Amino acid sequence: MYSKLQYISQGTTAIEQFENIKSALDAGCGWIQLRFKNCENKNLIELAEKVKKIYSSYNATFIMNDNVEVAKNIDADGVHLGLQDMSITQARNILGKNKIIGGTANTLSDVMMRINENCNYIGLGPFRFTSAKEKLSPVLGLEGYKSIMKNLTLQKFSKLLKCMNAPVYAIGGITIDDVSSLINTGVYGIAVSGAITNHPNKKELIQKFNSLLHEKINNCR
């Protein structure tokens, strides 16, 4: 199954991006999503190829944010698509059936749409305000996650959703203090950006994240 902790990269330059990604990998993060907005494709490909040269030695998963063509070009493990990006079906046709395709969701109907689109995982958020994203969807807060995840359990496909088809990740301004409460809503894992990027001891933080994420026994097992 997928890592319960995803790191979404940050950095205003390719050098900063690479250094932050390598630091997260060195600290034990097993899932990297390369998110570098407003970057020319040529420079993005160069950065992605540089990351690809090192990530496999960490036994990590490497996902491109938004850019399906770059994901295909460098043979990344997959791509994450926002609600306004290319459709899941189009991306699947380009990347093939074996690549990971994740999709953003903000509402219950978004999540159900992503399930019907056969997403491999769903990034549901934002949990709280975050400056990492320019166009932020309505903030969900803990109550928003509780409501959406509770409603999902009422759907006939809820067992498949939680166990096999599309694990739900909470995303958006998440800190170490939020993990237990979020996992108790029924989400599978979390996606984190600034909390890891800006922490002085990334290894210690990632160990704490993973410890909390694995405390709750998966009911699907």
pLDDT, one tens digit per residue, over 71-118 is 999 999 999 999 999 999 999 999 999 999 999 999 999 999 999 999
Q: Which two tokens stand for residue 143?
A: 């109550």
Q: How many residues does the chain have?
A: 221
State the pLDDT at residue 22.
Answer: 98
pLDDT, one tens digit per residue, over 148-170 is 999 988 775 545 444 447 899 99
What is the arithmetic mean of pLDDT over 17-46? 95
23-27, 46-50, 54-58: lowest mean pLDDT where? 54-58
Domain ranges of the chain: 5-213
Q: Are strands 61-65 and 168-171 parallel, antiparallel or unpaired?
A: unpaired
One CATH from 3.40.718.10, 3.40.190.10, 1.10.260.40, 3.20.20.70 for 5-213: 3.20.20.70
Say which residues have a Cβ less than 8 Å from residue 41's Cβ, sequence separation at least 6: 67, 69, 70
User: Whole-prediction pTM value?
Assistant: 0.91
The residue among 105, 91, 127, 132 whose CA lies nearest residue 9 is: 132
